[in-house]
């Protein structure tokens, strides 16, 4: 358990850094290259991401789980790693080749597309899934932290005007490639070279492809939304949506950091047959996650518009409206992340993950097509929330008899109720003063209303669970 807490702390700290650095650069970039420039990067990155998905398939989940299940024996770890990585390398060469064809024939801006090619190439060297599987989070955290800090400095030094958009894209994509390369010198500590046979590789193809489909489907929530926005409403609307996503992603990413640590831990417990401990971990995580996401889900909408104009500059109120809508999905994402990373994926319930993602993708695509031509970025935000509702609903329906659903929903509902009460109170706070003073006042009132009862409830639930586990 101590190791788990350490890994969570490392990954949590890293995710804070990952979130903080873009938030540091975002106000600067919004003023230097504008919504149009931000949109150009986001639009081109979204397209390149699909080629990265081809390279990686479902490896971030499948590779992580596979390594975690066999990590007790170095021989098994070595064979599993090289078998899976060989498949990754072959897929990466295909993806890089296809992206090269796209850049030459279809890309509207060849320079930007060429820079994004560094991001696609980085997939060839991405072995984060291996280090997550053996729970060596310290290596990935320190490496990524250093690279991202350097990239942030380079942005402030070299990106000075709208003419530097290509340079900005190059810095961002180059940092992806460098960060992946930095892990390879450490591989020999944990795995020996193994020349995989064809049978070693083939055995991983089907289960990895099963997880590939939901990865692509889930990407539609934000990535395809940006492509549709760029095509139907222009890159400026993409810029508004991208800025909203950056803020809304803060609590979601922190929750995902916990999930990334708990996935290999829960997978290892299940592989050993320790289902009691796995269930206990799941419930504890759910309580903590819902306490946090309910605060964010009901607190962020209250400050969304004044904060966006204060943070990004005048004229970005559209980002604020999008942020308010996207925040509604935060508690759903928190609940769903726990269920996926601590039950569905560790239990290899891949079909549930697959069909839920397809359901969400269909809902997302339908709403985007219906709303984006009329209300632009706001339509994409509504589509993202609709998709998350569909995904979580499908997953809960499929596994309702396999987990203590009633107890989980009661836990979550209690924190949601406190969050909703906070939202009502904050809504009646009178508007006065500057954007900064209003944001600070709303935050103070919201925390004062939410934190005491939520903390007391969390403490009560955790104490009750510890007593229950002790009695067993």
**Please, what's the largest Cα pairwise distance for the chain?**
70
Can you give the C-alpha Rg of the chain in angstroms?
A: 22
Say which range, 36-40, 299-303, 408-412, has the weakest mean pLDDT.
36-40
DSSP structure class, residue 212: H
pLDDT, residue 259, reads 61
Span 127-166, pLDDT tens digits? 988 888 887 777 777 787 888 889 989 999 999 888 888 8
CA distances from 151 to 42, 176, 246 (A): 17, 10, 17
Q: pLDDT tens across 273-321, in order?
A: 766 777 777 788 888 889 888 998 998 888 888 888 787 777 778 888 9
Domain of 239, in residue numbers: 2-186+195-471
Angstrom distances, CA of residue 56 to CA of 61, 72, 85, 220: 10, 25, 10, 16
Q: Distance between CA 361 and CA 347 in Å, rounded?
A: 23
**pLDDT exceeds cutoff 60 at 470:** no
Cα three-residue angle 287-416-21, rounded to 5 degrees: 75
| 124 to 55, 192, 464: CA distances (angstroms) | 7, 19, 47
Count of domains observed in the chain: 1
Report the distance separating Cα 248 and Cα 380, nearest Å. Answer: 14
- Residue 150: its H or E element: helix 137-158
Instruction: Tell me the per-residue pLDDT of 363-392, one tens digit each, with 9 for 90 and over.
Output: 988 999 999 998 988 999 999 899 989 999
pLDDT at 471 over 60: no
Q: Kindly tell me if the per-residue pLDDT of 236 is higher than 90.
A: no
d(CA 81, CA 87): 10
Banded pLDDT at 9 (limits 50, 70, 90):
low
pLDDT at 178: 92
pLDDT at 465 over 70: no
Q: Is the pLDDT of residue 271 over 70?
A: no
Query: Residue 418: CB partners within 8 Å, gap ≥ 6?
Result: 294, 450, 453, 454, 457
DSSP track, 66-131: HHHHHTT-HHHHHHHHHHHHHHHHHHHHHHHHHHHHHHHHT-S-HHHHHHHHHHHHHGGG--HHHH
Assign residue 197 a region: left if phi > 0, alpha if psi is -120 to 50, beta otherwise? beta
More confident residue, 13 or 43: 43
- The per-residue pLDDT for range 79-118, each reduced to its tens digit, is 999 999 999 999 999 999 999 999 988 877 888 898 999 9
Q: pTM of the full predicted structure? A: 0.67
3-state secondary structure of 419: helix
Which range has the worst mean pLDDT, 9-13, 21-25, 193-197, 351-355?
A: 9-13
């Amino acid at each position: 358990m101590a190791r788990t807490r350490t890994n969570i702390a490392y990954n949590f700290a890293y995710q804070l850094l990952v979130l903080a650095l873009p938030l540091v650069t975002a106000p600067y970039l919004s003023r230097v290259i504008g919504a149009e420039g931000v949109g150009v990067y986001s639009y081109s990155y979204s397209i390149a991401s699909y080629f990265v998905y081809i390279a990686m398939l479902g490896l971030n989940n499948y590779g992580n789980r596979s390594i975690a299940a066999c990590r007790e024996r170095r021989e098994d770890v070595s064979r599993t790693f090289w078998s899976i990585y060989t498949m990754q390398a072959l897929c990466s060469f295909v993806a890089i080749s296809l992206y090269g064809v796209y850049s030459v024939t279809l890309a509207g801006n060849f320079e930007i597309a060429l820079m994004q090619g560094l991001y696609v190439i980085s997939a060839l060297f991405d072995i984060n899934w291996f280090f997550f599987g053996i729970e060596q989070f310290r290596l990935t955290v320190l490496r990524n932290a250093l690279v991202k800090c350097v990239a942030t400095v380079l942005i402030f030094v070299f990106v000075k005007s709208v003419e530097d958009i290509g340079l900005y894209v190059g810095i961002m994509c180059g940092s992806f490639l460098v960060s992946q390369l930095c892990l390879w010198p450490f591989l020999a500590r944990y795995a020996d070279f193994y020349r995989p046979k064809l049978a070693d590789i083939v055995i991983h193809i089907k289960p990895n492809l099963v997880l590939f489909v939901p990865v692509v489907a889930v990407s539609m929530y934000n990535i395809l939304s940006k492509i549709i926005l760029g095509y139907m409403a222009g890159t400026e609307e993409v810029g508004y949506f991208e800025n909203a996503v950056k803020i809304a992603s803060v609590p979601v990413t922190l929750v995902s950091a916990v999930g990334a640590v708990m996935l290999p831990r829960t997978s290892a417990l299940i592989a050993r047959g320790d289902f009691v401990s796995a269930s206990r971990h799941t419930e504890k995580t759910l309580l903590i996650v819902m306490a946090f996401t309910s605060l964010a889900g009901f607190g962020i909408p209250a400050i969304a518009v004044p904060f966006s104009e204060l943070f990004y500059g005048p004229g970005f109120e559209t980002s604020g409206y999008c942020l308010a809508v996207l925040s509604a999905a935060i508690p759903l994402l928190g609940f769903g992340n726990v269920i996926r990373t601590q039950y569905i994926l560790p239990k290899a319930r891949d079909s549930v993950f697959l069909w839920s993602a397809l359901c969400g993708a269909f809902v997302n695509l339908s709403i985007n097509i219906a709303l984006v031509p009329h209300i632009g970025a706001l339509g994409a935000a509504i589509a993202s929330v609709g998709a998350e509702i569909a995904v979580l609903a499908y997953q809960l329906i499929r596994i309702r008899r396999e987990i203590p659903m009633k107890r989980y929903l009661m836990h979550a509902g209690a924190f949601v109720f406190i969050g909703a009460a906070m939202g009502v109170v904050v809504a009646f706070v009178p508007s006065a003063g500057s954007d900064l003073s209003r944001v600070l006042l709303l935050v103070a009132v919201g925390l004062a209303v939410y934190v005491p009862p939520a903390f007391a409830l969390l403490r009560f639930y955790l104490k009750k669970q510890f007593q229950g586990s002790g009695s067993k």
